[in-house]
Amino acid sequence: MAKKENKNEIKIKIEGESWQKALDKAFQKKNKDVTIPGFRKGKAPKDIFVKKYGIESLYIDASDYVIEEAYTKALDESKLIPVVQPKVDITNIDESGIEFNFTIITKPEVNIKKYKGLKITKDKVEVTKEEIEHEISHILERYTDLVTKEGKVENGDVAIIDFEGFKDGVAFDGGKGENYELEIGSGTFIPGFEEQLIGMSAGEEKEINVTFPEEYPQPDLKGQPVVFKVKVNEVKEKVKRELDDELFEDLAMEGVNSKETLEKEIKANIEANKEMDAENKYIDTLLEEVGKNVEVDIPEEMVDEEVDRLMHRYEEQLKMQGISLDLYYQFTRTTEKDLKAQLEKEAYNHVLYRLMLEELATLENIEVTDEEANKEADTLAEKYQMKKDEFLTAFGGIEMIKYDLQMRKVIDLLKEANK
């Protein structure tokens, strides 16, 4: 086993009976799905199979079998604890055997020079009267009534329209809608579309000429002039609500039945959100300051794996908005490489802080008991309305609960030590 700091290379050679068993196992798997003339499906002898497809066709599956087993054995014998998925390089493979190398990255040495007495304080939280009034105006806007009006479309009105788009006289996909509620001035449609509806009346029809933006994701439409045939079916205007009993009933907020109680509720909500933001900022600042006093050579493999995790999380967030990564790249004119580069600093800090907190847990002998972990699991399972065993499976098991609690204990220690 070759070792360089926390990068360990283990050379493995599998030959003889062990390799032949792996080839036989691979043959049994492959043979199930092939039909060779003269034999029923999956019943051809190995020598016939090899003559038709070549022994090389078995190498990938056979290598998978022996590599998995060899990795488990290598970890057991070396007592190494990997911090990222190992890299596997096959250096030689033929009918007689296989040779490969594992590169196993272990946790780097972490030296924390100072983590107490940094005098980090949390921002004080205040809620102003202007913020409360601003939120009330948002509520009134959200509960605005739409009332059919006589007369022409004005900015701020909602026009109920039928429309169909044509490029070079031919209707294009996705360019048609019926009884669509369009708020004029919202910027929902292509630039220039909404403005040309102003002055139209219910029942009126019109052709609207617009040009798709150059950054539009649909290649055959971006930068292209088109014509929309539009009919206004109805015009509605917004009628602002008042803070009256009817609105309080619509809000259905417990204990809110007057302007005073609404202001009190809004203040409490704003305060809670600000308190959460202040706490998160406080912890971020605390970790950043302690991180400045840490000496550690973080392997690039750890950062790369964290970048991949952040990429996956970002992709899931986009999916919730109905956007794929490919569409995101089109919208932003970026590539996967650009996004990875953008996430690299955040990924590096995540790894740094994780290593730092783990080292502090060791230095300060911070541990979590089974009783504490089970109590936390009970609390969280109840919070998410799940059975405890189902919650633990989703969360990653009781050991993940222990780890999460341990990290929170370390952060609490840092708070206390740096007031």
The pLDDT assigned to 250 comes to 85
Give the C-alpha separation, 84 to 256, whole Å. 52
CA neighbours within 13 Å on the CB side: how many for 52? 14
The pLDDT assigned to 5 comes to 66
Give the C-alpha separation, 348 to 113, whole Å. 19
CB burial class (10 A; 0-12, 13-18, 19+) of residue 22?
Answer: buried
- Profile the chain (419 residues) by mean pLDDT over runs of 10 residues: 70 95 93 83 87 93 94 92 93 95 94 94 94 92 87 92 93 90 90 93 94 86 92 91 86 89 94 96 96 95 95 93 88 91 96 97 95 94 92 92 96 92
Name the DSSP letter for residue 107. P
The residue type of 375 is K
Kind of pairing, strands 110-112 and 205-211? unpaired
Q: What is the DSSP string of 147-200?
A: EE-SSB--TT-EEEEEEEEEETTEEEEEEEEEEEEEETTS--SSTTTGGGGTT-
The pLDDT assigned to 327 comes to 87
The pLDDT assigned to 333 comes to 86
Q: What integer best gives the mean pLDDT of the chain? A: 92
Model confidence over 228-239: pLDDT tens digits? Answer: 999 999 999 988
The pLDDT assigned to 219 comes to 84
On whether the CB atoms of residues 103 and 87 are closer than 8 A, the answer is yes
Q: What is the DSSP string of 326-371?
A: HHHHHHHT--HHHHHHHHHHHHHHHHHHHHHHHHHHHHTT----HH
